[in-house]
Structure 1
Amino acid sequence: MEYYKLFIFALSFANTVSCTASLHHDGPQIQWDACDRSIVNDTSLSCGFLEVPLDYQDPSVGKARLALIKANATGERRGSVFFNPGGPGVSGLTFVNDNKNLLLGLSGGVYDVVSWDPRGVGNLTIPGEVFCFDDFAEYTAFFNGTIELTGIEETGNFTDPADINALLAQAPIMQKKYEEVGQKCLHSQSGKYLKYLGTAAAVRDMVSIANVLDGPDAPINYIGTSYGTLIGSWFINMFPERVGRVVLDGVVDPLVFATQEPALSFASQLVSADTIYKALITGCALTGPSGCAAASEGDGPLDIDFKVQALIKTAYGATKLNASVPITSGDIRIELFSEMYTPADWSDAVNEVYPQIVQIVNGEAPANGTLRKRSKELIRRNPLVGKRDSQPNDSPPYSGAAIYCGDSVDLRGTTMEQVLKGIISTAQNVTHLFGSSWPVVFYQCSFWPVRSVERYQGPFNKTLANKILVASNILDPITPLPWAESVARLLEKDAVLVRQNGFGHTTLSEPSTCLNEIAVAYFTNGTLPANNTLCEVDADFEVFSGVNTADILAHLPGTDV
């Protein structure tokens, strides 16, 4: 995702990429050409543009311009499969560039894989990335002295009255700041476009692309992960007659989103987060000190947890003494939360990052560039959490807030005090480790001043032209299994649920031949397995040296399926 690039307007398009969209007498066409090499370095991929209405209900408003990417089918082409990687705010162009073979493989190689940067994403689509501050210095000056820059300081289960009072004292300050940020965004260069961003627009844009590539009556095939599943849920219910082969993986519950404020319902997304952390420290204990630098000889998971908690407490104490410490306890929580997404990175996290954090917290080393670079990569992968450590010329993007908040329920007069009390309750009752993560995109939505010109709010149980596949890990840190179960239940006979017996965000976080074969069979011949099928993670995938997912699950209580 091009989160850290400056916003570039239409005039730059002629110089950034040679792809163009042209209008023929029979309607818009896409001219595929070489991609902008600063964004896409795989020369086998093609890029193009397509103009679409900014407002599908009012074409007089003007045009949007979508940046597209295509990986050609490796076998005999049967059409296109569209893909969105989530976020909101993750670049489809970047993801396809990095994961072309994965996507071609999942779809059986018989479709062109097509993605795009949705409105508000990247610097090639117009409207592009949303920026509300001129640079990072303006952002830090604006939020100076607030939890936006330090995170929330607390230890244990957030029961210390002093910590609770300190947080609640920030409520009027942060409410005023978030309301002012909303106004800054409205008056920024992006402001006039904010109401034209969002999921309904993304759905209609995808249908427009499909109409050009495959025809106005062709079934539309789609893979959506994370927030991309919300695009998928809206698509299949807005256009049930156009549903072809559709896979939703790492599922957002559209009914929850349509009825509840994200700032107040976030706790329901985190129900598995602490269990996944237990999986990490269990794997660390199983591999031992030779495979995990956080482990000592003979350590069990509780011993490793004690070290992590002690590290958080040390950072907490240092921050109380000096608010400008290089790493706060809030920073450590954000780092850990990002790690919950991708078990493939756990070994690197405990062997490379953890020792660096220990040294920095203990004052044995400065906050170094390697850690900051990695932190930036984590935020790229996990756009839900905010970015507090940046280079001087970087302006934090507000694309995620603009899209997610623009789609969410109308303002209900919720106060920041209510939001913060909900965070305290989440830390006490749902996830002790991650309940107090801050900043998180969702918490802005109760104060965001704009709503999209079109929002789909149900029903979510339309009869579909074809059955869809719903997939989830049994333990997902941000889109929990119950949400996937809810979507499958709403669609009844038109959806099949497949679970993966692993952890991480979306089933793509761990390899499973079982699930891959299900996806290929579905895309190539339409067959689906029995509902509620359970796939295992491949045994040869080691989370830590000598330790695979099954080993960790076998030593993790309470995960029987």
Structure 2
Amino acid sequence: MEYYKLVVLALSFASIVSCTTSSHHGGPQIQWGACDPSVVNDTSLSCGFLEVPLDYQDPSVGKARLALIKANATGERRGSVFFNPGGPGGSGLAAVNEDKDLLLGLSGGVYDVISWDPRGVGNLTVPGEVFCFDDFAEYTTFFNGTIELTGIEETGNFTNPADIKALLVQAPTMQKKYEQLGQKCLQSPSGKFLKYIGTAAVVRDMVSIANALDGPGTPINYIGTSYGTLIGSWFVNMFPERVGRVVIDGVIDPLVFATQEPALSFRSQLISADTIYKALITGCALSGPSGCAAASEGDGPLDIDAKVQALLKIAYDATKLNASVPITSGNIRVELFSEMYTPADWSNLVNEEYPQIVQIVNGEAPGNATLRKRSKRLIGRNPLVKRGSQPNDSPSFTSTAIYCADSVDLRGTTMEQVFKGIISTAQNVTHLFGSSWPATFYRCSFWPVRSVERYQGPFNKTLANKILIASNLLDPITPLPGAETVARLLGKDAVLVRQNGFGHTTVSEPSTCLNEIAVTYFTNGTLPANNTLCEVDADFEVFSGVNTADILAHLPSTDV
């Protein structure tokens, strides 16, 4: 599932229908009604609310309100399956509206698919979206003249001493800005809720919804992608006795997250990113000029890479001469990185966007609104950074609020240490994407709030039922070792299935093999052998005439 650009959500309950959740088990009820068609355009979906404690340890603090969505089972209903699309900060309402058929299909059609906007997401759940600035203008004024707006400028693999010096000299300024940002967020209307936003609360909220829908003590079924896998890892270990059928796909390593600062451990999440870029330029070369506008006749992958590097260098040089260029090399890197998530978009990238970027960088076209708008959408679905939008276009800090509230305690890390880590990542882990900035993760070393509850282990509990862990062999942001770690920790209670493809989560490329494994698991509980390898469907073309197997067979071993 893609990473959903936050939509401003509004639900209408003018026509509440009489399908109230059964109350044989007592406790709060959910009234299901029509969703607002401007938000959820699929009229088969139902929406509702559930009140839960803001703080499960101290109910006197008050209530939170969760906005829920439901897709009815297509077959004989056996219960509910819960879904979180990741982010953190992805809207469950938008996700089910967009991917209802996929979710019902993967779960065999025998469960109602339930999702919700977690705390800090949207404007229906309370606490809602986290805004720290009144509008976009205030945000840009606050960060004016910093890398927050331009990205980091560097060439090659960040070995130029002048580039290194230029970044390090900004460290005190950016540290002060991030410390001030934290205080601004605390003083905003969202501030009083920040300590009640986080993954442990989301897990407890899911259990509350399950109790209301299916009854206390019932098995809880769950699908989580990307950040949703952290929810999954925490859930199965916080409530091992409630584990029903659980699938996590695109796995964040919960041990690393529980013990290391995200700003310093983020490099471990980028180990496959350059290989996936090689897959893109390899596919482009195989397709040739007819299928890839970035290719000339006879080009190999290295020829196409040379064009990309030249483009970055032109943008870099232009930015050095004039800080107000329409698109910087830093912007291009972030845009390119977000494209590593979704191979289905690669053809559009090289044929539609790449020529536009070339024109803009060469001064042959203005920084046109269409491209900038699309860039904002791409960045919006990218868990590196979340640019949510309100009518005044104030950036959302929900991703930061969730991820940082869950992180380890502050350890006195300086921005200089963070920057040195970024330089090292660009030199040693991913030449192309190591310097991507801004990113949610880098704020956590300076974020002033931690959640009232964090789960930090153990991650090897004995579960009531076996779970399914899925991962692409090559994932740009949640690489295979995260899935392998969770599978190893859970031992006999987990089965790992790998997909021989690239992109963020296995759903980024279609695989009948993996779909059948999911359906069989959800419908009768059986799982394949551990470490099963599924192939991507051969009829899925990444570029015209070129499929995933073609690209994997031709990946260059030469360092790009």
TM-score over 0.5 for the alignment? yes
What displacement does 1:37 show? Answer: 1.9
Alpha-carbon shift at residue 235 of structure 1 (Å): 0.2
Does residue 82 in structure 1 map to residue 82 in structure 2? yes
User: Counterparts in 2 of 1:103-182, with a 5 A limit?
Assistant: 103-182=103-182
C-alpha contact 1:137 1:392 (8 A) present in aligned 2: no
- Please name the residue that 2:499 is paired with: 500
Would the alpha carbon gap of residues 342 and 384 (structure 1) be closer, same or farther in structure 2, given more than 3 Å must change?
A: same
Counterpart amino acid of residue 451 in structure 1: R
2:79–2:112 CA contact under 8 A, matched in 1: yes
Q: How does 1:163-202 map to 2 (within 5 A)?
A: 163-202=163-202
Counterpart CA distance in 2 for 1:524 and 1:368 is 49
Are the counterparts in 2 of residues 136 and 391 from structure 1 also a CA contact under 8 Å? Answer: no
**Deviates most, 58-67 or 37-46:** 37-46
Matched-pair contact (CA < 8 Å) for 2:287–2:546? yes
Q: State the distance in 2 between where 1:363 and 1:17 align.
A: 54
1:366-515 aligned at under 5 Å gives the runs 366-385=366-385, 387=387, 393-515=392-514
Structure 1 partner of 2:311 = 311
**Is the partner of 1:27 in helix, strand or coil?**
coil
1:270 matched residue in structure 2: 270
Q: Quote how far apart the aligned CAs of 1:192 are.
A: 0.3
Q: Is the 8 A contact 1:18 1:36 kept in 2?
A: no
Aligned residues: 553
Native 8 Å contact 1:136 1:392 kept in 2: no
User: Is this contact kept in 2: 1:237–1:461, CA < 8 A?
Assistant: yes
Does the Cα contact within 8 Å between 1:29 and 1:50 map onto a contact in 2? yes
- Give the Å deviation of 1:376: 2.1
Residues 1:13 and 1:40: Cα distance change in structure 2 (over 3 Å): closer
State the alpha-carbon separation in 2 of the partners of residues 2 and 449 from structure 1: 26
% identical aligned pairs:
84
Please give the residue correspondences for 1:359-370 in structure 2 after superposition, counting only pairs within 5 Å.
359-370=359-370
TM-score, normalisation: structure 1: 0.96
Q: Secondary structure of 2:36's partner? A: coil
Say which SS state the counterpart of residue 248 (structure 2) adopts.
strand
How far the C-alpha of 1:385 sits from its partner, in A, is 2.5
What's the CA shift for 1:373? Answer: 2.1
Moved over 4 A (4+): 12-25
| Secondary structure in 2 matching 1:472 | strand
Q: In structure 2, what is the equivalent of residue 98 of structure 1?
A: 98
What residue in structure 1 maps to residue 60 of structure 2?
Answer: 60
The 1:507/1:24 distance shift into structure 2, 3 A limit, reads closer
Cα distance in 1, alignment partners of residues 138 and 427 from structure 2: 34
Counterpart residue identity of residue 511, structure 2: S
1:387 to 1:69, Cα distance in 2 relative to 1, 3 A: closer
Aligned to 2:338: 338
Give the 3-state SS of the residue equivalent to 1:87 in structure 2: coil
Question: What is the CA deviation profile of residues 137-175 of structure 1, one whole-angstrom value per residue up to 9, with x for unaligned ones?
Answer: 000000011000110000001001100000001100000
Match of 1:548 in 2: 547
Partner of 2:288: 288
**What residue in structure 2 maps to residue 528 of structure 1?**
527
* Secondary structure of the corresponding residue to residue 425 of structure 1: helix
Provide the C-alpha distance between the structure 2 equivalents of 1:417 and 1:391, rounded to a whole number of angstroms.
33
The alignment partner of 1:309 has SS state of: helix
Structure-2 separation of matches of 1:52 and 1:19: 22
**Are the equivalent residues in 1 in contact too, given 2:13–2:34 (CA < 8 A)?**
no
Deviation by residue 1:217-247 (Cα, 9 ceiling, x = unmatched): 1100000000000000000000000000000
CA separation in 2, counterparts of 1:209 and 1:184? 33
Where 1:77 maps in the other structure, the secondary structure is: coil
Deviation, structure 1 residue 372: 1.7
Partner deviation per Cα, 1:94-121 (whole Å, 9 max, x = no partner): 0000000000000000000000000000
Q: Is the 8 A contact 1:18 1:35 kept in 2?
A: no
Deviation at 1:381, TM superposition (A): 1.7
Match in the other structure for 1:211: 211
Residue of structure 2 equivalent to 1:237:
237
Alpha carbons of structure 1 residues 17 and 57: separation in structure 2 relative to 1, 3 Å: farther
Query: Is the 8 Å Cα contact of residues 521 and 527 (structure 2) preserved in structure 1?
Result: yes
Distance in structure 1 (CA, Å) of the matches to 2:523 and 2:11? 37
**Cα distance in structure 2, aligned partners of 1:242 and 1:199:** 17
CA distance in 1, matches of 2:443, 2:36: 33
Distance in 1, Cα, partners of 2:458 & 2:99: 33
User: Partner of 1:51: helix, strand, or coil?
Assistant: strand
Q: Find the aligned partners of 1:520 and 1:558 in 2 and give their Cα distance.
A: 37
Give CA-to-partner distance per residue, 1:503-522, whole Å, 9 cap, x none: 00000000000000000000
> Cα RMSD (Å) of the superposition?
1.9
CA distance in 1 between counterparts of 2:373 and 2:80 reads 36
Deviation at 1:383, TM superposition (A): 3.2
Alpha-carbon shift at residue 90 of structure 1 (Å):
0.4
Aligned residue number for residue 224 of structure 2: 224
For residue 379 of structure 1, report the CA deviation from its aligned partner.
Answer: 1.9
From the superposition, tell whether residues 85 and 319 of structure 1 become closer, same or farther in structure 2 (CA, over 3 Å).
same
Q: Give the whole-Å Cα distance in 2 for the aligned partners of 1:205 and 1:335.
A: 34
What is the letter of the counterpart of residue 375 of structure 1?
S
1:57 is displaced (CA, Å) by 0.4
What CA deviation, in whole Å up to 9, does each residue of 1:436-459 have, x standing for no partner? 000000000000000000000000
The Cα shift of 1:39 comes to 1.5
TM-score norm. by structure 2 comes to 0.96
| Cα offset, 1:475, TM superposition | 0.1
Amino acid at match of 2:319: T
| Cα distance in 2 between the residues matched to 1:513 and 1:13 | 35
